[in-house]
Structure 1
Amino acid sequence: MTEPDWVDHVVWWQVYPLGFVGAYPADPPPPPGEHRLRRIVDWLDYAIELGASGLALGPVFASRTHGYDTTDHYRIDPRLGEDGDFDHLVAEARDRGLRILLDGVFNHVGTDFPRYRDAAAGGDSAWFRRRGGDFATFEGHGDLIALDHRSAEVVDYTVDVMSHWLGRGADGWRLDAAYAVPDSFWAGVLPRVRERHPQAWFVGEVIHGDYPARVRDSGFDSVTQYELWKAIWSSLNDGNFHELDWALTRHDEFLDTFVPMTFVGNHDVTRIASQLTDPTHVEHALVLLMTVGGTPSVYAGDEVAYRGVKEERFGGDDAVRPEFGSPFEGVGEHGHQVFRSHQHLIGLRRRNPWLHTARTTPLRVTNRGYVYTTRHGDDALVVALNIDDDAMPVSLAEFGLARAEVVAGSGAPPAQVVADTVVPAHGWLILAPR
């Protein structure tokens, strides 16, 4: 594993800046003089109150629309502000002990990218892939022009961009659409960046496939754990914890090679509160996120049960990328309760950093009930999830344990040591063996 030591302790709070500050979609777009990137500073104390230790930013570089059609990797998007606004955000985050993760798009560029405009006008096109006589695009999107990753100049450019912003205070990079880029490209880029910034962390966006092979061949520290994301909400909706158990078996195998970036929501998917058919199961998803191995990320708004459905159409991401006003604005009692649950479980996670590389072992698996241990060395917790309409009795002797302390749970009694307990209907418990 190549990840730096600080990653053991990080819990990311992910923000999609263009949507968060109301810069996209917006008609007319805000001018640079509004310095909207600084609005995120107003939320840093909220992130600390939540328990986060890192701020994972979506695209902040100059683009035409949603940020993933970059036109200048060296310039802050004018709709967000300018370099000074980025420096201010980094400084304020540093003062609070928050790490910064940037979102880099190096698979493709927007049609206003200067080198592409020159190439389209008949100039040098060595930076771009061709398909037949046309410029190749990303997944058929005509405004996203694919870079040629065999080009030494593209390699040098990517190394320089990544190093530039790490030098300006970032701690790492999420590499967008990394699954569409040859591993050999990253293998040529990342060692050179690490030479200058050995404490930087690199996570590739990978949807499916052989995660360990991608990490090995590319040199990533981590990849996005979409398999586990899908298994969490799907098993809760279908009442099929066997699916989750299989995914956690795979997850443990990944942990032998690298520590995945785990999540139950991000800027590209339907929000977990909308994805789940029973809103009481949002806490079950969160319990899983915070008690299994991984580097967890919480998508801004999920911690107060924001809703939003992603649709496959133009503008289909807008509902999951809304503008944010002030903390807790429009949040009802359910949202406040979900926030408190996040605080408690993130606190549990940060008090037990061994969970970063913990492996899980199933103790009881039924369609609607799941009990597992999560363990690293001598440290362990027992987690019991119940999504049934009836309470679920738990006898620790069944699992070879004598007693355990109840440390968290839905409707859990004050901390006590028990030999037998009951998980309420649609409830959960976390116990520490004694």
Structure 2
Amino acid sequence: MIEFLVAAALSEKPRLVTFEYAPPTPLSSCYIVGTFNNWDRSQYPLTKSTDGRTWRVTVPIKPGVYEYLYIEDGKRWVPDPKVEQVEDMNNNRNSIVVVQPPEFDALPGKLGDGKVTTAAVLHRTTRADVIRYNETDFGFRIRTRHQDVEQIWVEVNGERRAARITQSTPLFDTWIVRTTGSKAKFKYRFVLIDGDKELAYPKDGFTVNPASYPLPKIPAWIKDQVFYQIFPDRFANGNPANDGPNVSPWGAKPTATNRMGGDLAGVRSKLGYLQDLGITAIYFNPIFTAGSNHGYDTYDYRQIDPRFGTNEEFKSLVKEMNAKSMKVMLDGVFNHSGVGFFAFKDLVAKGAKSAYRDWYTTYKFPLKVEEGQKTYLGWFGAWTLPRLATEKKPVRDFILDVASMWIKDYGIAGWRLDAADQVGHPFWKLLRKGVKATDPNAWIVTEVWGDAHEYIQGDEQDNSMNYRWRLVALRFFGSKTLSAPGAVSELERIDLDVPDAARLTQLNLLSSHDTERLATMMQGDLNKMKQAVLFQFMSPGVPSVYYGDEVGLEGGKDPDCRRCFPWDPKDQNADLRAWTKTLIAFRRKHKELREDPAVYETKGDRVLALRRGKFLAIFNTGTDELKFSKPYEIFEFGHLASKSSIKPGGCAVYEVEEDDDDLRILP
């Protein structure tokens, strides 16, 4: 018998959590940072106990699951050795703290007991929990308490579809189902099953009006691109005259502050190299006037940094690139500015009387612009990166004007939006309207490392940087901590969070300015690198090559991942570059690799096959040779492979009949 569930909201009242840390060596200071305070490095100092060794702090935290670290002496970020740790999207080890809602205290969650914590059930009829895949298909997400419900069905038009768990934390499970509705209004409801109990939610169902969920309209040109990401200071130095003082020699070890002299003239001088490789679009890391070598502390959003060149030089570069059928995308850092930005400088000088007081969140005057300050809000607590109040109209108007100016006056093709999940959705909706009004074909891609589904459904950004896809590739080909079936399962989970139109244009990357480089992640193993790059160019999405990855440039975590491009051929891996060039040409030649969906198959834990149209890629990450029972007639190309077999560490692309559904990877 079905009962009807009435869900009440869980309490969000903060609970006091005490942290204790006994460092292995004496410290002068210790702070705790985490997702519970947006990694603000100056908010919660620990106090040394009377034993002279243990540090403590009590923090009010809302119920949830959070990652955290301790900062020792303002320098070393270390996990808590006493608690569970997890690996984040950038291979860092973070500690976990679970703050349980008070409603969970009385009764533990348990599968099959017929008891459901109804207060934990959450479904919103907004884009947070409703995804429109195409004209008729929708996805519905629902949250339950972790290990509290055995099965969930979604009823649509009299039919039931089983939901699957796509995310789990120690507190909650998130379920999702893809189902077919209609182009007209329709109803749906959930049925939660645990033990002998069935709970329908809600009684009369939710109503969907497809008109309220417009489909994404992604510029048609995007799917045909191959991007090349350039960190401007490290790609090529074409004009030593603009280097400025104290520039390090080309190829010096990167630090958090040193500069190497790369510039726009250098990029211009290497356009021939990029064209020969097959690149069709450049994504520039910040090029506006800033105080740092990375440029994420913008001083002037309307000026090219003099160390890179001039505005006219940039305009000329874009014009030349467009003439060569190459596009330019800029990095939009709109979550925060630098301390040299005119509005912040005025605020520092005039305090509460500044006309720009509302542009930032301030705590007290005068502002102290220094490490450890507590007078204004900085991104992740960084004093050099004051957070912009994008909810304020003057700030919005300024940024919208900047975003449109670089498209209208300089001809850029789009924006990559930095730290997008740190900015409210209302602002991104406005920015999209402004950018698309300037150029409907401009592309907007978001930096969200996790689930970005709320940002890419057609009313904010077009696509996201596909860090989740990257993690699958690195774990399957690199560390081998993910099996072939596990990789397919993760890829399918990612697909469930993305509208069909956006799936073909997600920005697929293997490295970036924020991560260890591919060669380092693969420990210099050419086989693994070739497999990962082939997987990148065979997968649905737009490939992005981080400068130097194509020649095997190594690099650890930031700032080491920002090394100078090694232009001396003896410092390049010619084999990897040739492989990358082959794959770029192959993707550009065959529309199947840009337009067709992917079909996956596995054999055991270490063999993965990926098909796009008539092309089949097979990857052998195991220790045994893979032999085919029937040789493939057309062997396009491969590494350690032939028509009849693939050696360990090898991969290959074959051409198969259009109607041949047998992937034939079995012996």
Corresponding residue SS for 1:427 = strand
Q: CA deviation at 1:244?
A: 2.0
Could you tell me which amino acid in structure 1 is paired with residue 547 of structure 2? A
Q: CA deviation at 1:390?
A: 2.1
Could you tell me which amino acid in structure 1 is paired with residue 654 of structure 2? L
Corresponding residue SS for 2:218 = coil
Could you tell me which amino acid in structure 2 is paired with residue 18 of structure 1? D
1:262 is the counterpart of 2:500: no
Residues 281/135 of structure 1: CA separation in 2 closer, same or farther (3 Å cut): same
Corresponding residue SS for 1:189 = helix
Which residue of the partner structure matches residue 147 of structure 2? none
Is residue 183–residue 217 contact of structure 1 (8 Å, CA) maintained in 2?
no
1:246 is the counterpart of 2:489: yes
Greater helix share, structure number: 1
Q: CA deviation at 1:39?
A: 1.0
Q: CA deviation at 1:331?
A: 2.6
Q: CA deviation at 1:354?
A: 3.4
Which residue of the partner structure matches residue 399 of structure 1? none
1:308 is the counterpart of 2:538: no
Pick one of 225, 238, 246 that aligns with 1:28: 246
Q: CA deviation at 1:329?
A: 3.7
Pick one of 523, 528, 534 that aligns with 1:281: 528
Under a length normalisation based on structure 1, what TM-score does the superposition of the two structures give? 0.87
Is residue 20–residue 321 contact of structure 1 (8 Å, CA) maintained in 2?
no
Which residue of the partner structure matches residue 627 of structure 2? 393
1:224 is the counterpart of 2:452: no
Higher relative contact order (CA 8 A, sep 6+): 1
Which residue of the partner structure matches residue 395 of structure 2? 154
Residues 216/135 of structure 1: CA separation in 2 closer, same or farther (3 Å cut): farther
Is residue 8–residue 353 contact of structure 1 (8 Å, CA) maintained in 2?
no
Partner Cα distance (2:262, 2:381) in 1: 34
Which residue of the partner structure matches residue 417 of structure 2? 175
Q: String of CA shifts for 1:150-179, please: whole Å, max 9, x gaps.
A: 111111111111111112111111111112
Pick one of 72, 87, 91 that aligns with 2:319: 91
Structure ID, larger Rg: 2
Stretch deviating more after TM superposition (216-225 or 97-106)? 216-225
Residues 244/255 of structure 1: CA separation in 2 closer, same or farther (3 Å cut): farther
Identity %: 26
Corresponding residue SS for 1:134 = coil
Q: CA deviation at 1:357?
A: 4.3
Is residue 485–residue 602 contact of structure 2 (8 Å, CA) maintained in 1?
no
Which residue of the partner structure matches residue 126 of structure 1? 358
Which residue of the partner structure matches residue 409 of structure 1? 638
Could you tell me which amino acid in structure 1 is paired with residue 622 of structure 2? D
Is residue 202–residue 220 contact of structure 1 (8 Å, CA) maintained in 2?
yes
Q: CA deviation at 1:69?
A: 0.2
Corresponding residue SS for 1:298 = strand
Which residue of the partner structure matches residue 344 of structure 1? 582
Q: String of CA shifts for 1:131-168, please: whole Å, max 9, x gaps.
A: 68832111121100101111111111111111111121
Is residue 184–residue 218 contact of structure 1 (8 Å, CA) maintained in 2?
no
Stretch deviating more after TM superposition (349-358 or 173-182)? 349-358
Corresponding residue SS for 1:219 = coil
Is residue 236–residue 262 contact of structure 2 (8 Å, CA) maintained in 1?
no
Q: String of CA shifts for 1:261-312, please: whole Å, max 9, x gaps.
A: 11111111111010013332001110111001111100110001111101xx
Could you tell me which amino acid in structure 2 is paired with residue 430 of structure 1? V
Is residue 456–residue 463 contact of structure 2 (8 Å, CA) maintained in 1?
yes
Q: CA deviation at 1:391?
A: 1.0
Is residue 136–residue 146 contact of structure 1 (8 Å, CA) maintained in 2?
yes
Could you tell me which amino acid in structure 1 is paired with residue 465 of structure 2? T
Q: String of CA shifts for 1:13-56, please: whole Å, max 9, x gaps.
A: 111102324699985259xxx99321111111111111111111
Could you tell me which amino acid in structure 2 is paired with residue 20 of structure 1? F
Q: CA deviation at 1:238?
A: 3.4
Under a length normalisation based on structure 2, what TM-score does the superposition of the two structures give? 0.58
Could you tell me which amino acid in structure 1 is paired with residue 571 of structure 2? V
Q: CA deviation at 1:359?
A: 2.6
Is residue 600–residue 610 contact of structure 2 (8 Å, CA) maintained in 1?
yes
Which residue of the partner structure matches residue 32 of structure 2? none
Q: How does 1:106-145 map to 2 (within 5 A)?
A: 106-121=334-349, 122=351, 123-124=354-355, 125-130=357-362, 134-145=375-386
Which residue of the partner structure matches residue 423 of structure 1? 646
Which residue of the partner structure matches residue 546 of structure 2? 299
Residues 159/36 of structure 1: CA separation in 2 closer, same or farther (3 Å cut): same
Aligned residues: 406
Pick one of 298, 309, 330 that aligns with 1:102: 330
Q: CA deviation at 1:403?
A: 5.4
Stretch deviating more after TM superposition (115-124 or 127-136)? 127-136
Residues 364/206 of structure 1: CA separation in 2 closer, same or farther (3 Å cut): same
Q: CA deviation at 1:393?
A: 1.6
5+ unaligned residues in a row in structure 2: which ranges?
A: 1-215, 249-260, 365-373, 658-667
Q: How does 1:5-84 map to 2 (within 5 A)?
A: 5-21=220-236, 28=246, 36-65=263-292, 66-84=294-312
Residues 83/59 of structure 1: CA separation in 2 closer, same or farther (3 Å cut): same
Is residue 371–residue 384 contact of structure 1 (8 Å, CA) maintained in 2?
yes
Partner Cα distance (2:531, 2:262) in 1: 39
Which residue of the partner structure matches residue 331 of structure 1? 571
Is residue 35–residue 85 contact of structure 1 (8 Å, CA) maintained in 2?
no
| TM-align CA RMSD | 2.4
Corresponding residue SS for 2:571 = coil
Residues 172/366 of structure 1: CA separation in 2 closer, same or farther (3 Å cut): same
Which residue of the partner structure matches residue 200 of structure 1? 442
